Structure 1
């Protein structure tokens, strides 16, 4: 065990990662179901890709800047949970503003209020999760991080599963949009309370000198394990955000589904069931054979599924491919957090460094704006060219991630 991990009692992986369950439910229902539907009501069909990409891109700026700053402050105070509490409150306020805009306003005025609410959501959620992200590397020994990361991935997948099921039910019952926002708020609060009550917080600042000095940003990126984990995570995230924001539009325009919201939820269910099947297993396997072999298989499977979705002959075939993508995504997610935790060079700055590493996940969200414009331009040329371009970009990013992950030293196996 590391010095940091012995400073507090052992915590159940289910309690430690409970908030990730609520956050996963929150983001699936918000990003993949509500926001695409709401944007169309604000700006219409012709500009939906551009404005959805703009919304996601502007929100990503908040997620890009905040985590390293909040993480560094958390390292100085030695506290993690107060940030989760405060961030949760701001997150809930932002959801309320978005709900107001979506249910009571319209047109471009409604869109700008909706954007304000989304910025509050991004601020609150990132304020909460930046210090929270430090708990696995801080409390868990390297030899167990694969298992803990697997539990975290499974809880995230279960949160997404519940979000997709909820979206299907809400769509079938034609419930008002306000119901979805209230449900998101409730499912965010409950798991947060489990983590807040179950993870002990020290009464005083935890001394961290034993973990080594805090590195500058330049020194951090000169540390080879961190550098290549950062680069490969950027690539995998670029692949994800080339497709994810536009999945509902793909169902409508390519698969010709009359109820695109419900069919997207069904497709997400297939992805999530596949990811649940592989999440815990991938983490446990990585504790035995190393992280990289799992990512090789997962990334290749994700790239193949993204390309084959372009030629899926039917909705049923697309669902099968979605399940295959989920198998790869679940395995990747289970290993991703463990690989990132292994790459942290200094125990004295876990939250700041995890916040910087988290930038590799959120910064690619900024590509949603040009990707949305590319989607609209390509589709205007005919033949659903826009979808060919963005899905093709996703596959290329996944393959590059698989190739470059070879450069990541397996610090876990070396330590063993």
Structure 2
């Protein structure tokens, strides 16, 4: 067992979380708005679900491999900021390739160039993520992690809200996709600079002779195991539905401008999550992380099921608000719960990189869920959406049931087994 991190240079939670704000803007606008619309232009309506799901799964390969490897190297050097700097640069280069593919190319040729750009985006973003993720357990004492995690959750939601608003404005004005790619690059770079300039980067390599436990033994440490498992389940629920919301707006709700209505729905989710994120983090410092997760996961599961029977767009927006309250509460304790489960102070970045895999690996569900969506809809009556949303609710409920196995804090005297 390790104690709370030793005294370290203090950093504002707003500065520490700035990069996550930019990343949230980046992924919302790219994954939920641009990518479905761009893929539809490249491949046509009959294969849209399959190709969006496949592209999401392809990107997840990078997110599986890179964070643990880069995190381990970051632990050995004791540096975090240089990895952020290089990762953001590659990410922006990938955005440029994607924007060029949409602007200059068409058909399957354009699609495969688009895929290349997306892989660069995934590589760069995940290269930066593991060293960045290590900063909360490294710099923030256990008793303050809920507050810091809440700020991170709130800024994540604010970044997503700004992304949804930007998508609405770009769509309303009829601006080309390249404008959105430029916005994504700008809103990723500026907050990243705030974090890189504001966090301490005094090289603190692992102590001489200190060897982190083997990767495979991390899962013998029960707090880490159950945090990993439950995070996988919540992410599976999210990624079961998230890539297909724009199609849901068109096919189930009958919206004539699904991109715009999808942006409005996302804005409702995000505004509600901002309300609950900061409050949830502070509450978790007092009552523990698990009670917040119980309420959040149940709320998201119920909202996902009710979206299948809503009478119209207005009711769907109300349910989006309910889902957002649950989602914000979950994100408010997510980082704190993961940081509390870190087994060693010699491998924060590596272990947080593996923890991050629990969130990104479930992106693979986009492939089978996209195929399930297309198959179900081919049977008639939008059956595909019933199946996909039902599977998402089941994942949320299972996460709620299993999170009880996660201790709120590490018991004193407990060590990671060798």
Normalising by the smaller structure, the TM-score range is over 0.9
Give the structure 2 partner of residue 287 of structure 1: 285
2:407 to 406, 409, 415: 409
Q: Is the 8 A contact 1:376 1:386 kept in 2?
A: yes
Give the structure 1 partner of residue 137 of structure 2: 137
Equivalent residue runs for 1:11-410 within 5 Å:
11-202=11-202, 204-208=203-207, 213-410=211-408
Q: Is the 8 A contact 2:77 2:206 kept in 1?
A: no
* Whole-angstrom CA distance in 2 between matches of 1:205 and 1:144: 22
Q: Is the 8 A contact 1:143 1:412 kept in 2?
A: no
**CA spacing shift, 1:178–1:359, aligned 2, 3 Å:** same
Shift of 1:23: 0.4
Q: Is the 8 A contact 1:168 1:266 kept in 2?
A: yes
Shift of 1:214: 1.1
* Whole-angstrom CA distance in 1 between matches of 2:87 and 2:103: 24
Structure 1: stretches of 5+ with no match in the other structure:
none
* Whole-angstrom CA distance in 1 between matches of 2:6 and 2:107: 52
CA RMSD of aligned residues (A): 1.5
Shift of 1:216: 1.2
What is the DSSP-based 3-state SS (H/G/I as helix, E as strand, rest coil) of the residue aligned with 1:411? coil
Q: Is the 8 A contact 1:33 1:265 kept in 2?
A: yes
**CA spacing shift, 1:37–1:122, aligned 2, 3 Å:** same
Shift of 1:12: 0.4
Shift of 1:205: 3.7
Shift of 1:213: 4.7
Give aligned pairs, total: 412
Question: Structure 1 length normalisation: TM-score?
Answer: 0.97
Structure 1, residues 296-315: CA drift from partner, whole Å, max 9, x if none? 00000000000000001110
Shift of 1:367: 1.1
The runs of at least 4 consecutive aligned structure 1 residues that moved more than 6 Å come to: none
* Whole-angstrom CA distance in 2 between matches of 1:10 and 1:120: 33
Give the structure 1 partner of residue 416 of structure 2: none
Structure 1, residues 19-51: CA drift from partner, whole Å, max 9, x if none? 000000000000000000000000000000000
Shift of 1:208: 4.2
* Whole-angstrom CA distance in 1 between matches of 2:280 and 2:132: 23
Shift of 1:103: 1.1
